[in-house]
Amino acid sequence: MIALRYHRLKSLIGLKADFEVMSGMDDSGPFVELDRDELGIYTVTLNRPNRINAINLAMRDELWQIFLLLRDDPTAKCAILRGAGPKGFSAGADISEFGSSPSLYESREARLNRDLWELMAGLDIPLISVLHGFTYGAGLEMSLYCDLRVASEDSQFALPEVTLGYIPSAGGTQTISRHLKSSDAALMAISGLPMSAENAYLKGLVHQVVSKEQLDDVAIGWARQLATYDSDVVRALKRTLREGSDLPLDTAVLAERIQSLNLVTRTQ
């Protein structure tokens, strides 16, 4: 069954040779690269290009430590998330680990103890995702926890889990429905079919589509602009947007006023 699901996914993305787990390839890590510039801008790069940056448990652990750093660094202004290699931002969860050691129960326990997605969702600094090629499954879900998304013209977006016999487990069914209208979200989740970069822009899934050569420049430009703003204000804005999204309007407006008052009183 695992092999059948694996071949279905390879067929879906059309990259049988590239996505196959090859024993001769070096895959010893580190699986995430981290850089920080003098402005307080972090760049987080998924670094498994020979597997289209598929997210395995080791990469999750590295991302967990990095996002803790982003949470706890008071000088951090924002973070850029990108994927190494030419094929894509991320093909999603590494299905070569499915059914292998560690056991399913150990994997689930690790996810509960280190809830990467909840940690990302709760970050106060802005997150910018730089998307190219294949942005599938957990890769798409990760990008949806970001605040700004720029994509290259060759990008494809999909939640293919249904084609493999399971459902998204990193919040995909909920985040996609908060970025797209309900009919488009249902189409992506239930069909598993990919969406082009052009459609993703027209439907509001990404904020800008550019050539692959322009991707990093656009993201860096956004990040440098954000870095010029008062960090306390930006963090308060993000908290207000996040915490008010599911509240009744009157309650959300009250929460906004409280955040505003907190900013005013910090200098008094």
> Annotated catalytic sites, by residue?
141, 161
Element (H, E) at 84: none
Q: Which amino acid is at 15?
A: L
Distance of CA 169 to the CA centre of its chain: 13
**Owner of token pair 């996040």:** 242
Q: Which amino acid is at 111?
A: R
Distance of CA 157 to the CA centre of its chain: 12
Q: Are strands 41-46 and 32-36 parallel, antiparallel or unpaired?
A: antiparallel
> Cα(120)–Cα(142) distance, rounded to whole angstroms?
8
Ordered alpha helix ranges (H), 1-137 = 2-13, 16-19, 57-72, 104-113, 116-121
Give the tokens for residue 256: 């906004």
Q: What is the DSSP letter of 51?
A: G
* Backbone phi and psi for residue 174, each to the nearest 5 degrees, phi listed first: -95, -40
CA angle (51, 59, 73) in 5-degree steps: 135
Q: Which of 128, 147, 149 is nearest to 195 (CA)?
A: 149
* Backbone phi and psi for residue 195, each to the nearest 5 degrees, phi listed first: -115, 135
